[in-house]
Chains A and B, each alone.
Chain A
Amino acid sequence: MSPRRIAVVGASAAGLAAAEALRRFGWTGTLTLVGDEPHPPYDRPPLSKQLLQGAWQPDKLHLRAADQLDALGLDLRLGTRATGLDTATRTLTLDSGERLACDGVIVATGVAARTLPEAAGLDGVHTLRTLEDALALKERLSGTGHRLVVIGNGVLGCEAAAVARELGHEVALVGREALPMARTVGTQIGELLAAEHHERGVRLHTAAVDGFEADGDGPARRVTAVRTADGTRLPADTVLVAIGSEPAVGWLHGDPALDTTDGLRCDAYCAAAPGVYAAGDVARWQHPVHGRDLRVEHRMNATEQGMAAARNLLAELAESLEGDEALAPAAGRERRPFTPVPYFWSDQYGLKIQAYGVLGGADRSEATVVDPDSRKAVALYGRDGRATGVLAIGLPPRQVRGLRALIATPVPWEEAREGLRNALA
């Protein structure tokens, strides 16, 4: 009999959480962790914050110390890309040509930054997803007096704009949405964020980007401006394209058993096929409480879902591999639906934005600005008469934690409003 093996594909937050949980829950077989980046698992949220700002060096981003990684006894394949998965035989193919027969696979390949086709081969145009991306942008923004245009006013664009302003650069933030992050946080909180960015000297533009202007030829072609559809020319020596991301599912397209529309589709247990689970930014799963498919690109979810996928995979294997020594007794667990209360935070200037639950897809939202000067605010988000999400800016931690309970499961709108009033009283 060949040795038992579980492979986790994607060596970042979700993949690491899955690998650790597999060991914690008792998997003693081979544990292969495949990551196409050359680095040991590192954290992404600081890339647009402390790293870009210059407060942290890259080594601070490591998710685990070397001894903690060693203790997991991994078959660690860094700088290695998975190129295919045959779900029928659970065979994983690597870019080296190697084929690994697996008992279980956890897909945690995340998402990749989207870019604009016009940006290809233009010096000065950046995206921000990986450590290399962040170091390149940071290098670009070293020194003073740069003119940065950020395309896309979602969370990432807003954070980078804030850091660049704090570093003293000229910053223009261009978005198709009129207000920063409005698609996530709604118009009232969007207005509050717009006011903050405006006050800090960021120029806000609402427009679709039409293309770039550049000088020079060949590889020396450097961006000089961003053109928008309404005819505005925004001078720039540096551009950040922050227009969202695409789930990294290209390598799975060969298998007809998998649905890879907008991420790898899973059931409520995070299973995409027998013995194949997914976690993190790449996973779209059926949230039993919200009653619809969710794909959550938040740091907290990567960890929680990695752990859930690990637990459920082991529970499934425990049935088929009963009595096998690769499954220590601790693995006697049952599968559980993954029903998290999603959580995200964002830091912009001194503002800490925190949210619980589901904000996207809301058909109603209501914000209360508690203190306009310090931008202290809370907001409630809902759909079909129920409150599903809550957001806080500048609230004390105890109060923020209290808000989680309000929408842990969707509740009637009026009930949540009442709860929010009490929480603030």
Chain B
Amino acid sequence: MNITLDADKCCAAGQCVLVAPEVFDQRDEDGIVVLLDAAPPADQHDAVREAAAICPAAVIKVDE
């Protein structure tokens, strides 16, 4: 799994962090998403897919 972000689009909703806190974080200043792990281990994959699906700004792209 490989994750890419179009962070420019991020509206700082933080939903990705709620769903997959080991993979995503937010910048303290403006809440823009930060990728902690672009190729997370298998036990994170479901959470990452969920985060990508739920993100209200279509920021997260997952290639499997």
Residues in chain A within 8 A of chain B (CB atoms): 13, 17, 20-21, 24, 43, 45-46, 60, 62-65, 68, 299-300, 302-304, 307, 343, 345, 347, 352, 354, 396-398, 400-401, 404
- What total of A-B pairs shows CB separation below 8 Å? 61
**Least Cβ–Cβ distance between A306 and chain B, in angstroms:** 9
Extra contacts besides A45-B57, A352-B30, A401-B18 (18): CB < 8 Å: A20-B53, A43-B57, A65-B61, A299-B56, A299-B57, A300-B13, A302-B56, A303-B55, A307-B54, A343-B15, A354-B12, A396-B31, A397-B17, A397-B26, A397-B28, A400-B31, A401-B14, A401-B17
* Interface flag for B45 (CB, 8 Å): no
Contacts of A303 in B (CB 8 A): 53-56
- Inter-chain contacts of B56 with A (CB < 8 A): 13, 45, 299-300, 302-303, 343
A352: which of B18, B28, B31 is its contact (CB, 8 Å)? B31
* Nearest opposing residue in chain A for B55, CB measure: A303
B28 contact set on A, CB distance < 8 A: 396-398
- Main SS at interface, chain A: helix
A398 and B14 CA atoms in complex are apart in Å by 9
Contact A397:B53 (CB < 8 A) given known A63-B58, A64-B58, A65-B61: no
Asked whether A345 lies within 8 Å of B13 as measured between CB atoms, the reply is yes
Residues of B within 8 A of A307 (CB): 53-54
Q: How many residues of B contact A (CB 8 A)?
A: 21
Taking the closest CB of chain B, its distance from the CB of A156, in whole angstroms, is 16
Residues of B within 8 A of A21 (CB): 53
- Can you list the 9 inter-chain pairs with the closest CB atoms, starting with the nearest? A397-B31, A397-B26, A299-B56, A300-B56, A63-B58, A401-B14, A303-B54, A397-B14, A396-B28
Docked Cα-Cα span, A17 to B50, in Å, equals 11
* Cβ-defined contact, B11 with A304, below 8 A: no
19 A-B residue contacts at CB 8 Å? A63-B58, A299-B56, A300-B54, A303-B53, A303-B54, A307-B53, A307-B54, A345-B12, A352-B30, A352-B31, A354-B12, A396-B28, A397-B17, A397-B28, A398-B26, A398-B28, A400-B31, A401-B14, A401-B17
| A316: min CB distance to chain B, Å | 21
User: What A residues does B30 contact at CB under 8 A?
Assistant: 352
| Nearest CB in chain B: distance from A42 CB, A | 9
Interface residues of B in 9-32 (CB under 8 A from A): 9, 11-15, 17-18, 26-28, 30-31
Which residues of B sit under 8 angstroms from A24, Cβ to Cβ?
49, 53
